[in-house]
Amino acid sequence: QVQLVESGGDLVQPGGSLRLSCTASGFTLDYYAISWFRQAPGKEREGVSCISSLYDSTDYTEPVKGRFTISRDNANNTVYLQMNSLKPEDTAVYYCAAVHGLFSQCRFLDEDDYDYWGQGTQVIVSS
């Protein structure tokens, strides 16, 4: 079965850390650009971070710069999102999405342009 599966979401106190995983099954992530999105209650889904399929170029939305790090582990067919110094405003359902192609830089695409989406993993930052 071809799918993306996110994991790693949890309840964490402000200032804490989490590492989210996005693992592909049924296909390999080697030539896919990956984006992480999040959707908070009552808000639209927003791009958080992305990594290109070539050169592993990365980008981040401004509110998470310096706190989040995206990385790729092709051997494990997984992309990670390391989230440090978490804030209550990071509370959201986090989704990963994959698009096939040779991209030297990453950018957030329209949702319909992605080939695969995961089901989401919940992150709650609260004391």
> In this predicted model, what pLDDT tens digit does every residue of 28-67 receive, in sequence order?
998 999 999 999 999 999 999 999 999 999 999 999 999 9
Q: What is the mean pLDDT of residues 1-29?
A: 96
Strand partners, 49: 36, 60
Q: What is the mean pLDDT of residues 15-35?
A: 95
Q: How far apart are CA 27 and CA 119, in angstroms?
A: 17
Name the band, by pLDDT with cuts 50, 70 and 90, for residue 122: very high
Q: What is the mean pLDDT of residues 98-120?
A: 94
Structure tokens at 68: 């989040």
Q: How far apart are CA 37 and CA 96, in angstroms?
A: 6
pLDDT of residue 1: 85
pLDDT at 68 over 90: yes
Could you tell me what percent of the chain has a pLDDT over 70?
A: 100
Q: How far apart are CA 95 and CA 104, in angstroms?
A: 22
Q: What are phi and psi of 84, to 5 degrees?
A: -115, 165
Which residue carries 């989210």 as its tokens?
Answer: 20
Contact 44, 115 (CB under 8 A): no
The mean pLDDT of the chain is: 96
Could you tell me what percent of the chain has a pLDDT over 90?
A: 94
pLDDT of residue 96: 98
Contact 35, 106 (CB under 8 A): yes
